[in-house]
Amino acid sequence: MQLTDKLIVLADAAKYDASCASSGAPKRSSRGQKGLGATNGNGICHSFTPDGRCVALLKILMTNFCLYDCQYCINRRSSNVPRARFSVDEIVRLTLDFYRRNLISGLFLSSGIIRSNDYTMEALVRVARTLRVEHQFRGYIHLKTIPDASPDLIRQAGLYADRLSVNVELPTSQSLNRLAPEKSDTTIRLAMSTIRDGLDEATAEPRAPRFSPGGQSTQMIVGADDTDDHTILGNVQSLYGDYRLKRVYYSAFSPIPESPSSVPLIAPPLLREHRLYQADFLIRGYGFRANELLTGPGNLSLDIDPKLAWALNHRELFPIDLDRADMYMIARVPGIGITSARRIETLRRERRIRYTDLTRLGCSMKKLAPFITTQDYRPRQAGLERQALLAQMQTSTPAQMALL
Amino acid sequence: MTMYTLYMARADFAAWRDNARRLLAARVSPGEVLWQDNDSAGDLFASGDTDLPPPSETPLALKLSRQHLSRLECASHYWPAHHQECRWALLYRVVWRLAQGEGEALLAGDTDGAVVEQRVKAVNHEVHHIHAFLRFHQQPVHPQEQHAPEFVAWFEPRHDVLEAAARHFIDRMGQHRWLIMTPEGTIFCDGRQWHIERPESGVFTFQDYQALSTMENDVEDLWLAYYASTFNPARLNEKTMVRSMPSRFWRHMPERVLITGLISHARHGARRLGQDSRLADRRGHTITLPK
């Protein structure tokens, strides 16, 4: 099989992994040295495909031969797809050639399970080692970890990779049992704790060997089973707490060819995925708890964002006075982000806040208007009940009907 | 009232700083200075004094933190559109106000601070763009040509981002020799040092660049294969793509030839599945578990 053909097969097989982050790596430079590549902590999106997702890394599978039969996966053993396998040299060549032309910032390598878990993991580590040691590649490397691989191999992977990830795959262990019978929630979590222990050791002991400096992340597929957002967010919150995760990625389930009847054949729920990312961001960055965003079973509302939904449910806390309120509370106002909240705090040390300052700070005026007061502004809608205000906030642009 | 006219080179923050220091010392208010650079049209009634006045008896002075100074320098890399204020005049008004004790002049909520903030953001964004969307092309270099660049690229930035690009790519490219050409100047790196050259007069054109570069195809074809395959038609969302990768950059990116085709193909049914439709027609095979 030609290299181009392999690339087509194995990039197609890998694209269902949502993560493409190339951030969080330590500062490395190749200036005037043998070898290639640099990282500085910031990610770079080198291109965007028409699905709106960025291309930061060469995201491929080493092989899409797989012994597992996960129902949601295009590469499951019962799936009738063309199969291919890259050699180590082919992956190395592609990575370096693309990197030199500034097409990518590194490699995101994953694989189907062949022969055994350890055999597969070892092959992945070999690619990373060849890049780092033989070619002195200092760009970004993200390795997907095979959950059942031995802890020793995971440690080796951490030596060369900037980020390791193990996918939890589905939001609950019941769904995992049903749709991915060969995988187990227990071993996935064990692998995640092995990585967490490695991270802990590396931070506690400055001279400890390098271990995945960009941390670990995970992914769950949304919409392949019927778990609701309330359960998802609850589980995600505990994942962040238990495993020092940098990120949880949500991947709206895309329909696959010859779809088994156990998974839906519908368009991927993109808006739901978007709302989950927003809620996730509120949990990570704004100190929200999952049960504040969704108080009972159900899904996040699709027509308004989770922060606005929360504020509408807590009319009694608003409007707040921007000259007096805590920064923590200012950041909770819909339309004001963390950066703007900090800037408001700096500015009010110089003088009192005026309504037009917020325009200049780039806040979303329409969203924040009912929730704040300043010395020269009082919301007209202060007395409005939740429902009346909601009706006012919703944009009522008619949507074009679509066939698909 | 005397008007002072100061002529500035296109990218000379140090010279502006020098002038600003002397103007503050002489207590010259922003309204009394006319800053001239390539961006601003000449003043029809220009008759200003180009010699700066001597320091006043009660000179103004200002100590800026390194962070504030680098913010001002970054804002000076912004190339204003014709209706926008000259960058040196804006910066001088900001330091003048700071020297008067108006600490808010550099905060994003202030009228001047907001403009500085907007310019800093635009410059940083453009730095990000050149880091991300610039494409190198490998050149056939004879082993005896030890000074010819191995990789060349053309880029059309909106603001002055040459230095930021130089610092970035020298870290990435190791000992390779490379050349980046833009209308306002070139960066050449010999594998150890970089050097920026700005044209004495006029600008470089894309034709100048084409004259010295050869296109290559092998790796580009692999890249196109990858780009089409990593695209998921079921998630078609061209708005987000255009927002994140403005179309002004497409012209010099290899993937430009695929974008419209992928979109229309997805719209005409390919989006039923996530799979690349080139694979759908090919024979696949299922795997039987070993006994």
Is residue A397 situated within a structural domain? no
CA–CA min distance B61, chain A (Å): 21
Residues A333 and A253 in one domain: no
- Among residues A288, A322, A350, the one where a domain terminates is A288
Is residue B74 situated within a structural domain? yes
Nearest residue in chain A measured CA to CA from B285: A80
Give the model's pLDDT for residue A306. Answer: 93
Q: Do A404 and B272 touch (CB under 8 A)?
A: yes
Pick from A7, A79, A97: CB nearest B229: A7
Q: Which two tokens stand for residue B81?
A: 């559109």
Does position A404 have pLDDT exceeding 70, yes or no? no
Confidence bin at B38 (pLDDT 50/70/90):
low
B174 CB neighbours in chain A (<8 A) are 30-37
The average pLDDT across A214-231 equals 92
d(CA A304, CA A334): 11
Pick from A9, A99, A350: CB nearest B107: A350
d(CA A35, CA A56): 20
d(CA A128, CA A144): 11
Residues A163 and A271 in one domain: yes
d(CA A255, CA A329): 41
CA–CA min distance A333, chain B (Å): 18
What residues 52-81 of chain B have any CB closer than 8 A to a CB of chain A? none
Residues A198 and A245 in one domain: yes
Using only the alpha carbons of chain B, give its radius of gyration.
Answer: 26
Confidence bin at A362 (pLDDT 50/70/90):
confident
What percent of chain A stands above pLDDT 70?
98
Domain total of chain A: 2
- Among residues B111, B128, B145, the one where a domain terminates is B128
Could you tell me if B237 lies within 8 Å of chain A, comparing CB atoms? yes
Residues A212 and A113 in one domain: yes
What percent of chain A stands above pLDDT 90?
68
Is residue B223 situated within a structural domain? yes
The average pLDDT across A281-306 equals 91
Residues B95 and B118 in one domain: yes
Give the model's pLDDT for residue B49. Answer: 58
Residues B24 and B120 in one domain: yes
The region of weakest confidence among A41-45, A335-339, A362-366, A395-399 is A395-399
d(CA A161, CA A106): 11
Give the model's pLDDT for residue A335. Answer: 92
Residues B33 and B112 in one domain: yes
Provide the residue range defining the domain that includes B179. Answer: 134-212
Q: Which two tokens stand for residue A89?
A: 């040299």
A29 CB neighbours in chain B (<8 A) are 171
Could you tell me if B141 lies within 8 Å of chain A, comparing CB atoms? no
B225 CB neighbours in chain A (<8 A) are 4, 7-8, 11
Nearest residue in chain B measured CA to CA from A267: B234
B221 CB neighbours in chain A (<8 A) are 4
CA–CA min distance A197, chain B (Å): 31
B126 CB neighbours in chain A (<8 A) are none
d(CA B243, CA B230): 19
Residues B167 and B68 in one domain: no
Residues B58 and B168 in one domain: no
Residues A61 and A142 in one domain: yes
Is residue A147 situated within a structural domain? yes
d(CA A194, CA B27): 65
A268 CB neighbours in chain B (<8 A) are 234-235, 274
The average pLDDT across A359-388 equals 85
d(CA A281, CA A294): 14
ipTM above 0.95, yes or no: no
Give the model's pLDDT for residue A191. Answer: 92
Residues B121 and B204 in one domain: no
Confidence bin at A31 (pLDDT 50/70/90):
very high
CATH of the domain at A147: 3.20.20.70
DSSP string, B182-239: ETTEEEEE-SS-EEEE--SSS---HHHHHHH-----HHHHHHHHHHHHH--GGG--HH
A363 CB neighbours in chain B (<8 A) are none
The average pLDDT across A344-348 equals 91
B104 CB neighbours in chain A (<8 A) are 347, 350-351
Residues B108 and B30 in one domain: yes
Residues A203 and A344 in one domain: no
Q: Do B275 and A256 touch (CB under 8 A)?
A: yes
Q: Which of B275, B278, B282, B289 to mutate to test the interface with A (most CBs of A within 10 A)?
A: B275
Residues B191 and B236 in one domain: no
Residues A278 and A383 in one domain: no
Q: Which of residues A341 and A393 earns the better pLDDT score? A: A341
Confidence bin at B50 (pLDDT 50/70/90):
low
- Among residues A260, A288, A316, the one where a domain terminates is A288
Q: Do B173 and A14 touch (CB under 8 A)?
A: no
Is residue B82 situated within a structural domain? yes
Is residue A297 situated within a structural domain? no
Domain total of chain B: 3
Could you tell me if B257 lies within 8 Å of chain A, comparing CB atoms? no
d(CA B238, CA A53): 10
Confidence bin at A259 (pLDDT 50/70/90):
confident
Provide the number of CB pairs (under 8 Å) joining chain A to chain B.
224
Is residue B184 situated within a structural domain? yes
Q: Do B274 and A256 touch (CB under 8 A)?
A: yes
Is residue A301 situated within a structural domain? no
Give the model's pLDDT for residue A401. Answer: 72
B238 CB neighbours in chain A (<8 A) are 50, 52
Pick from A7, A40, A256: CB nearest B226: A7
Is residue B274 situated within a structural domain? yes
Residues A236 and A367 in one domain: no
Confidence bin at B47 (pLDDT 50/70/90):
low
Residues A175 and A226 in one domain: yes
Give the model's pLDDT for residue A395. Answer: 60
Give the model's pLDDT for residue A396. Answer: 60
Is residue B101 situated within a structural domain? yes
The residues near B31 (Cβ < 8 Å, ≥ 6 apart) are: none
Is residue B123 situated within a structural domain? yes
Residues A49 and A195 in one domain: yes
Pick from B175, B282, B289: CB nearest A82: B282
Q: Which of residues A327 and B42 earns the better pLDDT score? A: A327
Nearest residue in chain B measured CA to CA from A116: B290
d(CA B105, CA B68): 11
Pick from B175, B279, B286: CB nearest A9: B279
In this structure, the strands spanning B185-189 and B178-182 are antiparallel
Is residue A112 situated within a structural domain? yes
Residues B110 and B148 in one domain: no
What residues 206-235 of chain B have any CB closer than 8 A to a CB of chain A? 219, 221-223, 225-235
- Among residues B94, B128, B162, the one where a domain terminates is B128
Task: Give residue-wise pLDDT tens across range A61-93.
Answer: 999 999 999 999 999 999 999 999 999 999 999
The average pLDDT across B156-176 equals 94
Tokens 């705090």, located at residue = A345
Q: Do A51 and B134 touch (CB under 8 A)?
A: no
The average pLDDT across B250-260 equals 93
Q: Do B271 and A257 touch (CB under 8 A)?
A: no
Give the model's pLDDT for residue B144. Answer: 80
Residues A265 and A366 in one domain: no
Residues A136 and A276 in one domain: yes
- Among residues B196, B212, B228, the one where a domain terminates is B212
Helix axes B87-99, B111-133, angle to 10 degrees: 130
CA torsion angle for A306, A307, A313, A317 (degrees, to 10)?
A: 170
Nearest residue in chain B measured CA to CA from A361: B109
Provide the residue range defining the domain that includes A33. Answer: 3-288
Give the model's pLDDT for residue B37. Answer: 73
Angstrom distances, CA of residue A69 to CA of A180, A376, B235, B243: 7, 63, 24, 38
Residues B46 and B105 in one domain: yes
Residues B195 and B106 in one domain: no
Confidence bin at A382 (pLDDT 50/70/90):
low
Give the model's pLDDT for residue B45. Answer: 54
Q: Which of B226, B263, B277, B291 to mutate to test the interface with A (most CBs of A within 10 A)?
A: B226
Give the model's pLDDT for residue A19. Answer: 84
Pick from A3, A53, A77: CB nearest B287: A77
In degrees, to the nearest 5, what angle opens at C-alpha A226 toward C-alphas A65 and A171? 60
The average pLDDT across A168-192 equals 92
The average pLDDT across A245-261 equals 90
Is residue A89 situated within a structural domain? yes
- Among residues A288, A320, A349, the one where a domain terminates is A288
Could you tell me if B10 lies within 8 Å of chain A, comparing CB atoms? no
d(CA A60, CA A3): 13
Q: Do A353 and B225 touch (CB under 8 A)?
A: no
Give the model's pLDDT for residue B286. Answer: 87
Give the model's pLDDT for residue A398. Answer: 67
B132 CB neighbours in chain A (<8 A) are 44-47
Residues B10 and B114 in one domain: yes
A329 close to B90: Cβ distance less than 8 angstroms: no
Average pLDDT of chain B is 88
